[in-house]
A and B are shown apart, each in its own frame.
Chain A
Amino acid sequence: DAGVIQSPRHEVTEMGQEVTLRCKPISGHNSLFWYRQTMMRGLELLIYFNNNVPIDDSGMPEDRFSAKMPNASFSTLKIQPSEPRDSAVYFCASSFRQTAPTGELFFGEGSRLTVL
């Protein structure tokens, strides 16, 4: 079975440009998460969706960041305009929301973003 698929794997862009990261969760999963990983701050939850609805976006750094999930099989994280401090690895993860409040998260391989 295919895992969580993220694209692009690597992105190098210039400050001020728009960046769009994409994620396809595992089929059947109904929760989707966007994380950011940096050396300084470690793994940070940016936003998560349940059944395509954003539940908590308190981790989104600022208005330059936006995330959408138009359907159960696709999500985007957009940064506009991008800044050098946005350079990080962005992970998408999905899970099946069971009756237990926490289940296993399945992570994609990440999108490494470099903003020059």
Chain B
Amino acid sequence: AQSVTQPDIHITVSEGASLELRCNYSYGATPYLFWYVQSPGQGLQLLLKYFSGDTLVQGIKGFEAEFKRSQSSFNLRKPSVHWSDAAEYFCAVAPRGGSQGNLIFGKGTKLSVKP
């Protein structure tokens, strides 16, 4: 079955430290890949997406993600975390050739930032 796994439910990092949030997917073929962020009390906002080409994609707010086909992973990274990055982060996948309604979200990783 198609699935998205975010192994870390909650991560705490110090401000200025680097960040990596993990995402693994299970799919028949390489899907389209997304990271969304949800600030408290807000809806989700797209950070970045991977469709094809360069496996390292840049997003908004200084985030990047790397697609690794061999590991079925699409981990999100940021070199230096800011306090405003505290939020919940969702990895999502959609099948190629499918419709927008096939977007499947992981359970999310909540990021806390220590001063």
Q: List residues of A whose CB falls within 8 A of some B CB.
A: 4, 31, 33, 42-43, 45, 48, 50, 55-56, 91, 93, 95, 97, 100-105, 107-110
Contact = CB atoms under 8 A, between A and B. Distances in A.
Interface residues of B, number: 23
A104 B46 contact: yes
Contact of B94 (A91, A97, A101, A109): A101
A13 B86 CA distance: 31
B44 A101 contact: no
B45 interface: yes
B46 A105 contact: yes
A45 B102 CA distance: 9
Interface in B41-59: 41-46, 49, 51
23 contacts: A42-B105, A42-B106, A42-B107, A43-B90, A43-B105, A45-B101, A45-B103, A50-B99, A56-B101, A91-B43, A101-B32, A101-B98, A101-B100, A102-B94, A102-B100, A102-B102, A102-B103, A105-B44, A105-B103, A107-B43, A108-B43, A109-B41, A109-B43
